[in-house]
Every structure is written in C-alpha cells, then in structure tokens.
Amino acid sequence: MLYIGVDLGTSAVKLLLMDENGDIKNIVSREYPLHFPKPGWSEQNPEDWYNGFMDGTKELIKDCDKSQIDGISFSGQMHGLVILDEKDQVIRPAILWNDGRTQAECDYLNKEIGREKISSYTANMAFPGFTAPKLLWLKKHEPENFAKIKKIMLPKDYIAYCLSKVHCTDVSDASGMLLFDVENKCWSKEMLELCDLKEEQLAKIYESYEVVGTVTEEIAKELEIPTTTKVIAGGGDNAVAAVGTGTVGNGMCSISLGTSGTVFIVNDNFAVDDQNALHSFAHADGKYHFMGVMLSAASCNKWWMDEIIKTKEYGNEQAGITELGQNNVYFLPYLMGERTPHNNPNARGAFVGMNMGTTREDMTQAVLEGVAFAIRDSFEITKSLGVNVERIRIAGGGAKSPLWCKIMANVLNVKVDKTNSEEGPAFGAAILAAVGCGKYSNVEEATKKLISIVETTEQDAELVEKYNVKYNVFKEIYPALKDVYEKMV
C-alpha cells in the first residue's frame, strides 16, 4: 500500500509518497505567496494551500498504482487562524504563526487575566503567534468577521476538511491554539468563555494517528484514488517532524533548523515549567512534549546569503569558515521578533562586535553561531528542569550543513545524529498515515522500524569550552538591547 504525507509549510506545500516499507517513491512541492499587509503582519489565502495540494498531489501520484493509495496525513504550520462561515467558506485570509499584531491581546491575557491562570487552563502562556490572541484581535478590529464565524480551523485542518468534509483537528496542533486543555486533551471552557466562543465553533479533536474520515467522491474522482482512501488527522509541524526523525519515546530530543527553529523533548507524562518559557504540548505519538521555539533559524542564513551578500552558493560561503570558537562577532537572530525565551515580537536582528578587521566569513559564522546560541537558550531551560540530553536528532534545511551541525554539537555539548530521512515533516505525516491505516500498531513501533541513524557529529571538549565562554557573552546582549527595541517600535 501507499501513503501520502503532506507538509503544509509557510512558503510551500511538500508532498511525499511512501510505501509500507518506508521507501520514498516521490516528492513534489508547490510554492504559494505570503502576504505582509502591514509591518509585522503575515497572512495567506487558504485556497492557495488547497490548490497547491491538489496540483502537487496529481503530479506526486501520476506514475503510481493509484488503487494502492491507502491514506493521507498531514504536518501543518501551527497556530494559523482559519475561519469559515455557515457555508464553510473562508471569511478572510488566514493570520499566520509568525504574525506579530496581537501583543496587546497577549498582554491582556498574561497580565490582566494572569499568566498563571492562563497556564492553568492551557499549560501555556499567551504568545503573539498563538490562535486565541488572534481571535481576540479579530473581535476588536474586525467584529463583522468575528460575528460570521461558524468554524475555527488550523491550516492543515482546512485541507483535511476539503478532502473529507470533516471539521477536525489533532491534539498536537490544538495545543498551540491557547484554547486547548493540554493535560486533559479537550477544549478549555474557561478559554472559550474568555474569547467569547462556543465549543461547537471548534473542530472535533483526534489523536494525530487517528482516522477522521475518507476522501469525498469528488476528491476521489479528481485525484483518481479510491473512495476508501483514509484521511488521518496528522499534527503540528514540529510534532510531526519529530515523528519523521524518530523522536518518539520518553527523553528523546530533536532540533529542527527550518524557517523557525525548535528544541523538542518528549515526555511520557504531562508537565509544565514554572515560568512557561517552554511550550507544553501534546505529542503526535499520544504522549506529551516540551518545546522551545525561535521564530527565525535557517531563515536567518537564507536572509544573509540571499538578500545581503547575494549568493546562492551556501556551501562555498561556509567553506571559508575554519576557526570555530574564536569569532568575536555576535549575531542576534531575531529577524521576526522572538518567542522562546524572550517572548518579544519587537526584538530584531543585530550584529555586535564588528571592527575594521571583521570579514565576510566572520559575519557568516556569526549568523550560524547566533542561531545555535538562541537554540541553547531553550536547552538551558530544559537543564533547569532536570532533563539531561546527551544526544539530539537534527532535521530541517539547516541540518544539511555539516558546519552548522558541528557548531550545534559544540554549542550544546551533545552528539548530533542525522537519520536516514531528511524529509522530517512530510515523512512523519506519511508514517502517521500508515499507523492510521493499521500498518503499524503505534507510532513508536513504526519509527523504530522505519528510521535509523546514518551519521553522528560528536562534540570536541576544547570547542565546547570556547563556546561556553562565547555563549555567556551572547546571553548578555539581548538584555542590553531590550529597551532599545521598545523605542524602535
């Protein structure tokens, strides 16, 4: 049998076709536009996602035996607000995860209602990217659209709805809405009341590997696939990427260097850190996880290479970097503001420490190191919780750089493993489809059979010590600039 994994990203949808042995048969992607109506705003048209999915899927499966397609599942960009009217039509463009317009609403939830109270309802504090603050913003600034809401959905769930006509979501993606009681895996009545919502306006909740329905006859006809093709709930991009790297089971840790950067640590049991510096979410394997998120990770390197030094030769640019641990230039990677641990949408990128001897290579190295230092900020919080991580699995576009993996190993003082698949989210989604269709009894069984370590980058004690010194400087730069950022708004 064949399984389709859908990775609905911020800039493109990636589609992966996998057989029951985990062999990838084809990969296709379709890009779509991202809109910035005002500074700090970020929106997309959900119809662009659907059109990209349909067009890409037709190419993905054109040469396979379509009768063998058994299931479709999803990885999706989290937190995005998709609202439908009573005819299930999209009311307005989706407000995305990296949109920063809701600081006032977050301040209301965290300060007036109280961070501790919000955390008791949802296991998390309010962040500008989360869905609930977006709804409060909508109610205040677009009351006519708020009044039309019949259903509230997340990005990947909109595609699942288009395929199955089922209003669904999963526990991992719902965890990032600030409307979800993570510990009890149900909608929070208190948060619904705060946001002036009714539970029937929200989707039915599933575990990530559960079947929500089958494709409609119209979809089956257009794609030429069986009407028995199952639609499996899927999960938020970070949870599904973790499945795609085999980060399943208590204490496992992965780092993703994609558009955003994440530290992801699996827990068998529900837990919350006292300061809510880390997100506490449900995992796609049926358990829980901690997650630290930085809003700009590999996108920092892309910005530096594409927009500033104007080159596409990323590897050649990094080849000139040979003196690790000795760079006196620092880079703050806050190009889109920052989430963990600063929770400040007004933070911005900055180079610090340049002099007349600073080279292009120094600045390129500073970008790579700055992302690693910001990832370490989340790592330090996990250490304070008594979590001892000795090795990580790395994924995302940035993981393709051997130099970046080496920097990460030494900044974090861990072994860095790469797995046999570089297609984390899409591959993870295909695995969830296979589990949902009954090929494997659970997610952990599937990942143990389908995923293996193919390369390990080990740390060097001397470099670790040098980077400890550098990190202690790095972590003092943001506090020094914080008041300046507020004056730049």
Choose the catalytic residue: 237, 285, 362, 417. 237
Q: Evaluate whether 24 touches 427 at the Cβ level (below 8 Å).
A: yes
User: How far from 219 is each of 162, 167, 421, CA to CA, in Å?
Assistant: 9, 16, 29
Instruction: Please give the annotated binding residues, written as ranges.
Output: 78-79
Residues 6+ apart with CB under 8 A from 339: 127, 129, 293, 294, 295
Q: Evaluate whether 341 touches 277 at the Cβ level (below 8 Å).
A: yes
Q: Evaluate whether 180 touches 187 at the Cβ level (below 8 Å).
A: yes
Instruction: Classify the phi-psi angles of 196: left when phi > 0, otherwise alpha if psi is within -120 to 50, otherwise beta.
Output: left
How far out from the chain centre does Cα 248 lie? 16
Q: Evaluate whether 6 touches 75 at the Cβ level (below 8 Å).
A: yes
- Give the tokens for residue 124: 């998390």
Q: Which residues share a beta bridge with 337?
A: 335
The CA dihedral of 395, 399, 404, 408, to the nearest 10 degrees, is 20
Q: Evaluate whether 162 touches 215 at the Cβ level (below 8 Å).
A: no
| Residue 237 annotated to the active site | yes
* Interatomic CA distance for residues 461 and 365, integer angstroms: 20
Return the H-helix or E-strand segment holding 486: helix 461-488
- Give the tokens for residue 161: 């709805």
* Interatomic CA distance for residues 216 and 226, integer angstroms: 10
DSSP per position, 88-115 = S-B-SPEEPTT--TTHHHHHIIIIIIIH
Q: Where are the beta strands (DSSP E) in 305-450?
A: 330-332, 350-352, 391-395, 415-419
Q: Evaluate whether 248 touches 447 at the Cβ level (below 8 Å).
A: yes
Q: Which amino acid is at 268?
A: D
* Interatomic CA distance for residues 394 and 404, integer angstroms: 11
* Interatomic CA distance for residues 252 and 230, integer angstroms: 30
Instruction: Please give the annotated binding residues for substrate, written as ranges.
Output: 78-79
* Interatomic CA distance for residues 304 and 153, integer angstroms: 34
Active-site residue list = 237
